[in-house]
Every structure is written in structure tokens, then in C-alpha cells.
Amino acid sequence: MERFLKKNFEVAAKNPSEEAQRRWRRAVGAVVKNRRRRFRMVPDLDKRSEVDAKKRKIQVTARNPKKKKKGSPTTGLKS
């Protein structure tokens, strides 16, 4: 059984890839009763990917800040 799981799902003991976790949940989800309770202590993969995307967006904007235009701070007209 262990060989079958390693061959088809590639779930390592620690730090499996997100894709491996998704395949594992998809396969086990059909068999497990009360999936919500079973997976409540496991991180939500969709939320995790959203958070990672937000972090990347923030990092990109921090590295490449927009240049400020010269001019009066109140009117925006060039002096």
C-alpha cells in the first residue's frame, strides 16, 4: 500500500508540494467521511495561494516604486 501511495501521489513525510497535497485530498476526499472535520487542521490550499500572490504583488511594487512627478504638492502644476 505504501509503495502504491508513493508511486501515485508522491506525498513525502514533510513539506509536500501543493500539487501533491491537492491530488491527495482529491483521492482521499471521496473515501473519508466528514471531509470538513478531517481536513480542518490542514491549511487551506486556495487561501494559501491567494496569500502568496498578494505577497508577490507587494514585493514587486516595493522593488519598483512609481516615480513621483515634479510639481507643486498642492496643485500639481510645474514650477
Give domain status of residue 76, yes or no: no
Residue 79 confidence (pLDDT) above 60: no
Asked, for residue 13, whether it belongs to a domain, the answer is yes
pLDDT of 72 above 60: no
In a domain, 17, yes or no: yes
What is the domain extent for residue 52? 2-63
Q: Does residue 11 sit within a domain?
A: yes
User: In sequence order, what are the residues at sequence separation of 6 or more whose Cβ sits closer than 8 angstroms to the Cβ of residue 21?
Assistant: 11, 42, 45
20 inside domain: yes
Does residue 72 lie in a domain region? no
pTM of the model: 0.42
Residue 74 belongs to some domain of the structure: no
For residue 30, is it within any domain? yes
Highest mean pLDDT among 29-38, 41-50, 54-63: 54-63
Number of domains in the chain: 1
Burial of 59 (0-12, 13-18, 19+ CB in 10 A): exposed
